[in-house]
Amino acid sequence: MNYTTQMDAAKKGIITKEMEIVSKKENIDVNILRQKIAEGKIVIPANKNHKSLNPEGVGEGLRTKINVNLGISKDCCNIEKELEKARVAIEMKAEAIMDLSCYGKTEEFRKKLINMSTAMIGTVPVYDAVGFYDKELKDISSEEFLKVIEKHAEDGVDFMTIHAGINRETAEVFKRNKRLTNIVSRGGSLLYAWMELNDRENPFYEHFDKILDICEKYDVTISLGDACRPGSINDATDASQIKELIVLGELTKRAWERNVQIIIEGPGHMPINEIAANMLLEKKLCHGAPFYVLGPIVTDIAPGYDHITSAIGGAIAAANGADFLCYVTPAEHLRLPTLEDMKEGIIATKIAAHAADIAKNIKGAKKWDYEMSKARQNLDWEKMFKLAIDPEKTRKYRKESMPQHEDSCSMCGKMCSMRNMNKVMKGKNINILREDD
């Protein structure tokens, strides 16, 4: 039986090879997986032209996935450096990489990235349009925007951020409800500016059916962009954000009618006490579609440490229903991340995702922690290193400050609770001030 997309196959009762792979990875019955894909609650972003892909599922009941942003810009346009970041991100088991390139040889970089990446690849076509045509934003036509989307799809991009929710109606709500930080989404601000400069509807909203034609042809998952995401905690859960979310829910249904898979993008900056309610709103208004969040960043005062503010918000968001976390690095709000920034961002986001998986009772999540605790109780340092989320750093810290007694660490020494409890539970004496008998 023929099918066009993973969702089309799922609705027809077909088990694809991608579904089989995800089923084994997630330890979930393949028929349950297929049913949730048919309902739109799980997606498998897998462009037909991405031949090196090792597919992943995103959505209800699955492990929380993480995405890494990278790409070339006018100020930092070294393709090899960005490809090296991609290689390291894949080694660190990031499930997705978004190419946010906005200057120079974007096509060359994108094709190299897709060819070498086993992780799913996402892009934001509106970023690429200005450089692709070498035109000012105002002069790019609706048809030209669509051509960029088709080019990315043809190249093998698995999911694309399409800011279709900021239509003229949403823009009017934004104008009537003043914000502290206006529109902070780069793609959203570009499309808002295009609409204002041309006095026309957002081409991604006006021609959404044509975008669906492209995505159905190549099986591209649409990540419906949150152009009105809050850029400060002051603007969180406001009229603009909620209005756009309502539009995204309407677009989701239109996409599902065409068997195009959908992810919904979300906040943004947000106080901790508003996160759970926002997860509930998205799932309700967007009919259970997978939710992809940037952070949320829970305070605005920590430039240089936003991988931490983001991980706090990400853990709470995913524990309350978010399915996909976009990493944030220490360089957020400051500059293009370095390789080391990227590593820190990945680790922080992986910690958040795993903490949420424990809360969501995802199969196997607690087993990792159980094995680590067992290794700690046994003072099995080598096992601890292997189980650590960052083995390199744990080995480094241990090596930099070796204790006198190897069955302890340099913080507690012979007062180590694990060491002493192991001894006393076996009926042995505990010698702290002198050598053991």
Question: Per the annotation, does 77 bind a ligand?
Answer: no
Flag whether 400 is marked binding: no
Tell me: is residue 167 an annotated ligand-binding position. no
Beta strand 42-43 pairing with 58-59: antiparallel
Q: Tell me whether residue 156 is annotated as binding.
A: no
Residue 420 exposed, middle or buried by CB count within 10 Å (0-12, 13-18, 19+)? middle
Is position 127 annotated in a ligand binding site? yes
**CA dihedral of residues 192, 295, 256, 287 (deg, nearest 10):** -110
CA distances (Å), origin 306, targets 56, 75, 149, 186, 334: 27, 22, 31, 18, 10
Could you tell me which residues come within 8 angstroms of residue 265 by beta carbon, excluding any fewer than 6 positions away?
Answer: 161, 223, 224, 225, 226, 229, 292, 293, 294
* 429 marked ligand binding residue: no
354 annotated binding-site participant: no
Cα separation, 278 vs 292, whole angstroms = 12
Q: Is 50 annotated as a binding residue?
A: no
409 is in an annotated binding site: yes
Q: Is 416 annotated in some ligand binding site?
A: yes
CB 322 within 8 A of CB 292: yes
The answer to whether 227 is a known ligand-binding residue is yes
At CA 266, angle to CA 261 and CA 270, rounded to 5?
165
* Interatomic CA distance for residues 133 and 96, integer angstroms: 27
415 has binding-site annotation: no
Is 98 labelled a binding residue?
Answer: yes
Does 412 count as an annotated binding residue?
yes
Name 133's Cβ contacts closer than 8 Å, sequence gap at least 6: 140, 144
Binding annotation for substrate = 69, 98, 127, 163, 185-187, 226-229, 265, 292
Binding annotation = 69, 98, 127, 163, 185-187, 226-229, 265, 269, 292, 333, 409, 412, 416
Binding annotation for [4Fe-4S] cluster = 409, 412, 416
Binding annotation for Zn(2+) = 269, 333
